[in-house]
Amino acid sequence: MNPFSELGLADTFEVDVKALEKTHRDLSRALHPDRYVQAPAGERRVALERAVRVNEAFRAVKDPLSRAEALFALRGTPIGDGKEPKPDPDFLMDVLESREALSDAKGEKNAAAVAKLKAAAEANHERVLAALGAVFAKPEKPDESAVKLLGKLRFFRRFLEEVSDVEDDLDAT
């Protein structure tokens, strides 16, 4: 499925989230089962199936990670398990050290240290998004270095998920 064309959008990495949400709302309204109460069963089913696809496409385009994955697929660069280059050792070392620091901060209930790690990861996350934006702004098929950016995005994403678990933990105590 091409989630962009499903929503009638151009396949770009830059997305106006407000406009995307409006498109989704409008399409969902147009495809709402209430509008098809009088329609023949076949038409009703088609509208329902389309509504499901529209929801999937909306989620895929809204999240920058799945949006990037969709763009790699559309441009013919293979991604996914076993198809992506191994991360650089230095990068892995940074990831591991941040994860250890986060785990220490959690153990010490050090909210300030958690906040600092979070800010650094958010900045890295933003930087990778900007770099991916530059990749997709060009018409060429993204190369291996672009796929490495996608991997980095997932590492930062995982880290930030862990941060929010730790924050919940610290709030609860």
Question: Which listed residue (16, 80, 137, 165) binds other proteins by CB under 8 A?
Answer: 80
Comparison of 43 and 161: residue with beta carbon closer to other proteins: 161
What is the C-alpha separation between 153 and 151, in angstroms, rounded? 5
Q: Which of 106, 118, 125, 148 binds other proteins (CB under 8 A)?
A: 148
Binding of other proteins by 72 (CB under 8 A): no
Map residue 25 onto helix, strand or coil: helix
For other proteins, how many residues bind (rule: CB under 8 A)?
A: 28
Stretch that binds other proteins, among 5-13, 51-59, 75-83, 128-136 (CB under 8 A): 75-83
Q: Which listed residue (89, 168, 171, 173) binds other proteins by CB under 8 A?
A: 89
Q: Which of 14, 34, 81, 171 binds other proteins (CB under 8 A)?
A: 81
- C-alpha span between 120 and 156 (Å, rounded): 10
151 binds other proteins per the rule CB under 8 A: yes
**Among 146, 107, 109, 110, CA closest to 129:** 146
Nearest to 128 by CA among 151, 147, 153, 145: 153
Nearer to other proteins, 7 or 135 (CB): 135
- Contact region for other proteins (CB under 8 A) — 31-39, 49-57, 77-85, 118-126? 77-85
Cα 122 to the chain's mean position, in Å?
A: 14
C-alpha span between 38 and 35 (Å, rounded): 8
| 93 contributes a contact to other proteins by CB under 8 A | yes
d(CA 72, CA 12): 11
Residue 162 in the binding site for other proteins (CB under 8 A): yes
Residues contacting residue 44 through CB under 8 Å, at least 6 positions apart: 33, 36
Closest CA to 133 of 69, 62, 84, 68: 68
- Return residues touching other proteins (CB under 8 A): 79-82, 84-87, 89, 91-93, 95-96, 99-100, 103, 147-148, 150-152, 154-155, 157-159, 162
